Amino acid sequence: MEKKRCAYSECGGPMNLPRAGARFCSSKCRVYAHRSEKRFPAEMTARERWVRRTESKRPVTVSGRPASSTDSRTWASFETARKSSVGAGMGFVLGGGIGCYDFDHCFENGHLADWAVEAIRAIPERVIFSELSQSSDGVHVFVEAAEGPGRKIRDGRNIERYTAGRYIAVTGRRFKL
């Protein structure tokens, strides 16, 4: 059985509190979590495409069972997923008009690499939301997009674009170019 973890997605630490029903490992995490609640735009929070995720980034339901990026019965509303203490954080299932560009290893010396700046500025769709990835070495750019096949660019850059059948482990840590 997986140990209960802090519900603040950037922490995910073990719960050592004696109080039943506690969702956060400390008052600091509780405050940070509540501040981050409004970090996701309405275009995403209004859709029932949310899951929880394990430490290894596997999607799980709000009750802890395996979730699927292609089975809407395993997804939840933003509010339900946010309130769940299952797993180590949240994820968003792509589709329904929302896709994502995933830029991996795009920082050099603490700054966004030139290739990533160019690629992000060249995104043709309307950008909904951008965030730092879990590793803080990548960026997720959520866009309005029709569903279609995924794409990987591995020409020295690490860019993936998906619009359906995938989920993204989200952090809510906004990133602005």
Report yes or no on 30 lying in a domain. Answer: no
Helix, strand or coil, per DSSP, at residue 35: helix
Pairing of strands 89-93, 50-53: antiparallel
Using the structure block, give the residue that is written with the tokens 């990026």: 69
Residue 158 shares a structural domain with residue 136 = yes
Full-model pTM: 0.79
Query: What are the structure tokens assigned to 69, written together?
Result: 């990026």
pLDDT tens track for 58-67:
999 999 999 9
Helices (H), ranges, the chain: 27-36, 42-45, 78-83, 114-121
Residue 120 shares a structural domain with residue 159 = yes
pLDDT tens track for 101-118:
999 999 998 899 999 999
Nearest in space to 142 (alpha carbons), one of 87, 98, 90, 95? 98
Helix, strand or coil, per DSSP, at residue 167: strand
Report yes or no on 19 lying in a domain. Answer: no
CB 168 within 8 A of CB 102: yes
Single-letter amino acid code for the residue at 155: D
Give residue 109's domain range. 98-170
Single-letter amino acid code for the residue at 130: S
Residue 123 shares a structural domain with residue 155 = yes
Tally of domains in the chain: 2
* Final residue in a domain of this structure, among 88, 106, 124: 88
Distance CA 173, CA 132 (A): 6
User: Furthest-apart CA pair in the chain: how many Å?
Assistant: 51
Residue 115 shares a structural domain with residue 161 = yes
The confidence band for 27, taking pLDDT boundaries of 50, 70 and 90, is confident
Residue 79 shares a structural domain with residue 108 = no
The confidence band for 37, taking pLDDT boundaries of 50, 70 and 90, is low
Q: Is the pLDDT of residue 1 over 50?
A: no
Nearest in space to 89 (alpha carbons), one of 128, 124, 57? 57
Residue 105 shares a structural domain with residue 75 = no
The confidence band for 46, taking pLDDT boundaries of 50, 70 and 90, is very high
pLDDT tens track for 124-164:
999 999 999 988 899 999 999 999 999 999 898 999 999 99
Residue 53's contacts (CB-CB under 8 Å, 6 or more residues apart) are 59, 60, 87, 88, 89, 90, 91, 169
